[in-house]
Structure 1
């Protein structure tokens, strides 16, 4: 495995960094969203009674008598806070294969330079050896991008579900507050 990493060339390092970063973000967000989902999947009354830290600014805005637009702004800020990191996952899913492709192109250039300066007749083994080594970075970039893209998709779906529940809970609490219920 280490041999393949070394043969992949210098662009394997940023691909590895992307892999580590994507895994760390995906695991952190999965844990965060799982714990939020577990907390908000109850009925509306229970959600507000728990006094969850990420819902506290919304609850305080409702209880202080702010209007619907102001509460919406507070809610949007809280959702934006929860979104942090998902953009980085999308970026990694896009740049990883591009890094891999760049490594492949530079590897192919090197392979053809070796052939160009060779004083002997070119044989298929010389060409194939350089090409397969050059393709390692493309494979590595795809191995990072595909699971990162899938993780990002599932995390965004979970955040959409959480957002819907939070909005419903906030609307219900606002309505009850406005009507003295």
Structure 2
């Protein structure tokens, strides 16, 4: 009765032994890689690590903030278009003011400048000036956190260079103290600081530069879409007000 269970026990013990040994080998290899590529860089790696954490946090925030839903949502566009087609400017202002998106706030700021005494263009120039003022103020706020990514892209190589200089100073100090016959292990530690900080400085700077231009272009595209929508809304009201006059200029046909 116990005979069939013995091979099973042996297989289970062997499998457990293999798993434990492989996990310990993996942990040892991971520790070795961590030491080889991170901790051997010395204390300057702490500064570069802080820059990496800041870069990750800024990228996550900008990914969450720079979305169409927060800038130019489709439901708001449809509601505003319905009001402006029917020349309900006050209702459009109230709808925009009740919506936290970029387009909603922009319309709530700009539409009060619509001038009904100028039916030919409804005071387009005043509305466009208000949109420009709003864009300058809002873009400055949105670009602040994007510009911090650019700052990281510029600071990371400097941190790497600082570590490089620090490592080389330590290496030459080791050579000087050993009368030209320094221990290679001591020199290797100083050279590790020099090279690893340079490596991680570049590893941080290159993605930072890419992320900066990515988020900057994304912001510009979202703002451009809001401006295009605002122009469509204003044109819709102007077309409604001047629809009959506009059609009167178009001949129905030519009498023969």
Equivalent of residue 162 in structure 2, options 79, 84, 102: 102
What residue in structure 1 maps to residue 108 of structure 2? 60
Contact 1:115–1:126 (Cα < 8 Å) also in 2:
no
Instruction: Between 171-180 and 111-120, report the one with greater CA deviation.
Output: 171-180
CA RMSD of aligned residues (A): 2.8
TM-score by length of 2: 0.61
> Larger radius of gyration, structure 1 or 2?
2
Deviation at 1:41, TM superposition (A): 7.0
Deviation at 1:48, TM superposition (A): 4.0
Contact 2:52–2:204 (Cα < 8 Å) also in 1:
yes
Q: Which runs of 5+ in 2 are unaligned?
A: 1-33, 82-94, 115-125, 242-256
Higher relative contact order, structure no. (Cα contacts within 8 Å, ≥ 6 residues apart): 1
Distance in 2, matches of 1:127 and 1:156, equals: 44
Contact 2:110–2:130 (Cα < 8 Å) also in 1:
no
Contact 1:36–1:162 (Cα < 8 Å) also in 2:
no
What residue in structure 2 maps to residue 132 of structure 1? 192
Distance in 1, matches of 2:180 and 2:129, equals: 76
Q: Which runs of 5+ in 1 are unaligned?
A: none
Contact 1:55–1:78 (Cα < 8 Å) also in 2:
no
SS in 2 for 1:85: helix
SS in 1 for 2:113: coil
1:81-107 Cα shifts (integer Å, max 9, x gaps): 322301000010111011011111111
TM-score by length of 1: 0.83
Contact 1:93–1:148 (Cα < 8 Å) also in 2:
yes
Instruction: Between 120-129 and 84-93, report the one with greater CA deviation.
Output: 120-129
1:172–1:99 distance in 2 versus 1, CA, 3 Å? same
What residue in structure 2 maps to residue 16 of structure 1? 49
1:166–1:73 distance in 2 versus 1, CA, 3 Å? same
